[in-house]
Chain A
Amino acid sequence: MKMKRLSLALAFTLAAAIFTSCEKNSTYKLPILGYTDYEEVNGKVDTIYHTIPAFGFLDQDSAMVTKETVEGKIYVADFFFGTCPTICPKMAQQMLRVYDQFKDNEDFAILSHTIDPEHDTVEYLNGYAAKLGVNDNETWHFLTGKKEEIYELGTAAGYMVQVREDPTAEGGYIHSGAFILVDKEGRVRGFYDGTIPEKVDVLMNDIKILQAEYAD
């Protein structure tokens, strides 16, 4: 009889453990990505994380968006171009999901950088955003500016993704389909394939984990 009660207890403990493992562990933190440096200051070692460098681009409403605009905000960045025949529409469809879920959040933003600024002017991006159903520039900024600066921001010095011109590629550009998650201090906290719905589910969950980190 004792054995029976023991095995019953064991089964319940196991079940309980499995149930709780489903829940999000509130103490889990997303990693801080990129090259980390250490500096000695007054005998103490400071950790210096990789952060997104300063930038300045115009959005679809001709508003200047800089590093300061997104300071204190959790944001998602990506690279696209308006006439892209390959992965961009899929990325836009997925980014719309992220937008719909978090747009009412004051400390949340999305930065979509065009990599074809000659074609994707402020005027063009204004129409592009409206056609996607994004009617204001409160949350989602479609950014254009100097080509070199946009490309520089994509490199290891910035978002650490693949962005370049390539005449042999379909549409003329090679660019990563990544959605990059950046925290309130400008540190990169995750990369997600913006063309795969399941990966974007993970991103949306990670945004909540990151929000919880600041809620403590």
Chain B
Amino acid sequence: MTSKYFRQNMRINIIGSCLLLCICLAACGPSDKSSSDSNNNAAALDNKERQYFTNGRNLYETYCANCHMEQGQGLGQLIPPLKNSDFLLANVPAAARWIKNGLNGKIMVNGKTYDQPMPANAKLTPLEIAEILTFISNSWGNTHGGVTTEEVIEVLNQQAN
């Protein structure tokens, strides 16, 4: 038996073992739990709107996701969903007021009553609110389109009067 043949065989063997090892290790790892939303409407937005959408996603995670959850699904009958929410989609951009000042009292969302107070986020600027609205009204199957800062300023002023 030549040593060359032997060495070649050894190498295949080692590669084989490494491969097996990799498979085993991969099997041990946690299952992939991607929370990204593939069902968003970003493709229908223009460049500026898409920028709003991206910033809005970060703001959503900071200010909204604790209650409305990472996929906008809400929580039982405590927290209303934003995903496919007739109430939200009928109130863009007016929902800017609720984001800014909170919301109290009963509301009806997709045929269900919700009565949990929503806290105010008084520190959010009109730009940030427009970004959040752009994100939530174009995510998880929602297809409202872009929301501008001017629209937000307008509805916030309406309330002040």
Contact = CB atoms under 8 A, between A and B. Distances in A.
Contact of A11 (B1, B13, B66): B13
B29 to A, nearest CB: 10
Contacts of A4: 6, 9-10, 13
Contacts of B27: 19, 22
A92 B75 contact: yes
Nearest to A1: B1
A18 B79 contact: no
B67 A11 contact: no
Interface residues of A, number: 32
Interface stretch (A26-34, A48-56, A128-136, A155-163): A128-136
B7 to A, nearest CB: 10
A131 B66 contact: no
Interface string B76-98: 11110000000000000000000
Contacts of B17: 7, 10-11, 14-15
B16 A18 contact: no
Interface in A1-55: 1, 3-4, 7-8, 10-11, 14-15, 18-19, 21-22
A166 to B, nearest CB: 16
Interface in B45-84: 66-67, 69, 75-79
B24 A19 contact: yes
A83 B119 CA distance: 9
Given A22-B27, A131-B76, A86 B66 contact: yes
Given A4-B13, A89-B79, A92-B75, A22 B28 contact: yes
Nearest to A82: B116
Interface string A76-105: 000000010111011011001000000000
A96 B69 CA distance: 14
Given A19-B24, A198-B30, A93 B69 contact: yes
Contacts of B10: 3-4, 7
Contacts of A190: none
A197 interface: yes
A15 B33 contact: no
Nearest to A10: B17
Contact of A132 (B1, B9, B75, B119): B75
Interface in B1-22: 1, 6, 9-10, 13-14, 16-17, 20-21
B117 interface: yes
Given A1-B1, A83-B117, A7 B14 contact: yes
Contacts of B16: 11
10 contacts: A18-B21, A18-B24, A18-B28, A89-B67, A90-B66, A92-B75, A92-B76, A93-B69, A131-B78, A131-B116
Of all A-B residue pairs in the complex, the 3 with the closest CB atoms, nearest first, are: A11-B17, A85-B119, A131-B77
Given A11-B13, A18-B24, 4 more contacts: A7-B17, A90-B66, A130-B77, A132-B75
Interface of B: 1, 6, 9-10, 13-14, 16-17, 20-21, 24-25, 27-28, 30, 33, 66-67, 69, 75-79, 116-117, 119
